[in-house]
Structure 1
Amino acid sequence: MAQDLALAQSQAFALARTLMVPVTLFRSGDEFGVVVSDEIDADDDLDIIHEFDPHDRRPAH
Protein backbone atom coordinates (compact mmCIF):
# COMPACT_ATOMS: atom_id res chain seq x y z
CA MET A 1 0.00 0.00 0.00
CA ALA A 2 1.16 3.52 -0.77
CA GLN A 3 0.06 6.93 0.44
CA ASP A 4 1.24 8.78 -2.69
CA LEU A 5 -1.14 8.56 -5.68
CA ALA A 6 1.59 9.26 -8.26
CA LEU A 7 3.75 6.45 -6.87
CA ALA A 8 0.80 4.04 -6.83
CA GLN A 9 -0.06 4.92 -10.45
CA SER A 10 3.52 4.34 -11.54
CA GLN A 11 3.66 0.99 -9.77
CA ALA A 12 0.30 -0.09 -11.22
CA PHE A 13 1.38 0.76 -14.76
CA ALA A 14 4.70 -1.07 -14.34
CA LEU A 15 3.00 -4.11 -12.84
CA ALA A 16 0.46 -4.31 -15.66
CA ARG A 17 3.24 -4.10 -18.26
CA THR A 18 5.38 -6.68 -16.45
CA LEU A 19 2.63 -9.24 -15.85
CA MET A 20 0.78 -8.36 -19.09
CA VAL A 21 -2.57 -8.57 -17.28
CA PRO A 22 -5.02 -5.81 -16.30
CA VAL A 23 -4.44 -4.43 -12.80
CA THR A 24 -6.66 -2.12 -10.77
CA LEU A 25 -5.55 0.85 -8.72
CA PHE A 26 -7.79 1.35 -5.70
CA ARG A 27 -8.07 3.42 -2.52
CA SER A 28 -8.76 1.92 0.87
CA GLY A 29 -8.95 4.50 3.62
CA ASP A 30 -6.08 6.93 3.08
CA GLU A 31 -3.83 4.49 1.19
CA PHE A 32 -3.66 3.27 -2.40
CA GLY A 33 -3.12 -0.29 -3.55
CA VAL A 34 -2.85 -2.36 -6.71
CA VAL A 35 -4.35 -5.77 -7.40
CA VAL A 36 -4.77 -7.96 -10.47
CA SER A 37 -8.22 -7.06 -11.82
CA ASP A 38 -9.43 -10.69 -11.84
CA GLU A 39 -8.95 -10.83 -8.06
CA ILE A 40 -11.53 -8.11 -7.28
CA ASP A 41 -14.95 -9.27 -6.09
CA ALA A 42 -18.14 -7.23 -6.24
CA ASP A 43 -18.38 -7.58 -2.45
CA ASP A 44 -15.02 -5.85 -1.89
CA ASP A 45 -15.32 -2.42 -0.30
CA LEU A 46 -12.80 -0.66 -2.53
CA ASP A 47 -12.82 2.77 -4.12
CA ILE A 48 -11.58 1.88 -7.62
CA ILE A 49 -9.57 4.66 -9.23
CA HIS A 50 -8.38 3.19 -12.53
CA GLU A 51 -7.74 -0.08 -14.36
CA PHE A 52 -4.46 -0.34 -16.24
CA ASP A 53 -4.74 -2.70 -19.22
CA PRO A 54 -1.43 -3.44 -20.96
CA HIS A 55 -3.29 -4.48 -24.13
CA ASP A 56 -5.14 -1.16 -24.49
CA ARG A 57 -3.47 0.77 -27.31
CA ARG A 58 -5.37 4.07 -27.06
CA PRO A 59 -3.37 7.30 -26.81
CA ALA A 60 -2.82 8.64 -23.30
CA HIS A 61 -4.53 11.97 -24.09
Structure 2
Amino acid sequence: MSDLSLARDHAFHLARTLMVPVTLFKSGDQYGALPSEEIDADDDLEPLYEFDPHERGPAH
Protein backbone atom coordinates (compact mmCIF):
# COMPACT_ATOMS: atom_id res chain seq x y z
CA MET A 1 0.00 0.00 0.00
CA SER A 2 1.44 3.39 -0.96
CA ASP A 3 1.85 6.26 1.50
CA LEU A 4 -0.86 8.25 -0.31
CA SER A 5 -3.27 5.32 -0.23
CA LEU A 6 -2.68 4.81 3.49
CA ALA A 7 -3.08 8.54 4.21
CA ARG A 8 -6.32 8.66 2.17
CA ASP A 9 -7.70 5.67 4.11
CA HIS A 10 -6.87 7.28 7.47
CA ALA A 11 -8.35 10.66 6.42
CA PHE A 12 -11.58 8.96 5.33
CA HIS A 13 -11.88 7.10 8.64
CA LEU A 14 -11.08 10.27 10.59
CA ALA A 15 -13.90 12.09 8.81
CA ARG A 16 -16.32 9.25 9.59
CA THR A 17 -15.21 9.13 13.23
CA LEU A 18 -15.38 12.88 13.87
CA MET A 19 -18.35 13.38 11.51
CA VAL A 20 -16.79 16.57 10.11
CA PRO A 21 -15.17 17.30 6.73
CA VAL A 22 -11.48 16.34 6.75
CA THR A 23 -8.87 17.51 4.26
CA LEU A 24 -5.98 15.29 3.21
CA PHE A 25 -2.97 17.45 2.34
CA LYS A 26 0.66 17.24 1.36
CA SER A 27 3.36 19.34 2.97
CA GLY A 28 6.82 18.78 1.58
CA ASP A 29 7.11 15.02 1.18
CA GLN A 30 4.67 14.16 3.98
CA TYR A 31 0.90 13.64 4.04
CA GLY A 32 -1.44 14.77 6.78
CA ALA A 33 -5.12 15.19 7.59
CA LEU A 34 -6.96 17.85 9.54
CA PRO A 35 -10.56 18.87 10.01
CA SER A 36 -11.18 21.18 7.05
CA GLU A 37 -12.22 24.10 9.24
CA GLU A 38 -8.76 24.14 10.87
CA ILE A 39 -6.90 24.76 7.60
CA ASP A 40 -6.10 28.39 6.78
CA ALA A 41 -5.42 29.79 3.32
CA ASP A 42 -2.04 30.99 4.63
CA ASP A 43 -0.92 27.46 5.55
CA ASP A 44 1.80 26.04 3.33
CA LEU A 45 -0.23 22.95 2.42
CA GLU A 46 -1.24 21.32 -0.84
CA PRO A 47 -4.82 20.06 -0.37
CA LEU A 48 -5.38 16.72 -2.13
CA TYR A 49 -8.83 15.47 -1.08
CA GLU A 50 -11.67 16.51 1.16
CA PHE A 51 -13.80 13.82 2.77
CA ASP A 52 -17.26 14.92 3.92
CA PRO A 53 -18.94 12.17 5.94
CA HIS A 54 -22.37 13.68 5.26
CA GLU A 55 -22.05 13.16 1.49
CA ARG A 56 -21.65 9.37 1.73
CA GLY A 57 -24.48 6.92 1.97
CA PRO A 58 -24.73 4.05 4.43
CA ALA A 59 -21.99 1.44 4.39
CA HIS A 60 -24.38 -1.36 3.30
**Please, what TM-score do these two structures have when normalized by structure 1?**
0.86
Q: How far has the Cα of 1:57 moved from its partner?
A: 3.3
Q: Does 1:39 align with 2:29?
A: no
Runs of 5+ consecutive residues of structure 2 not aligned to the other structure: none
Output the aligned Cα RMSD. Answer: 1.5
Which structure is higher in helix share? 2
Runs of 5+ consecutive residues of structure 1 not aligned to the other structure: none
| Percent of residue pairs bearing the same amino acid type | 66
Q: Runs (4+) of structure 1 moved beyond 4 Å?
A: none
**Please, what TM-score do these two structures have when normalized by structure 2?**
0.87
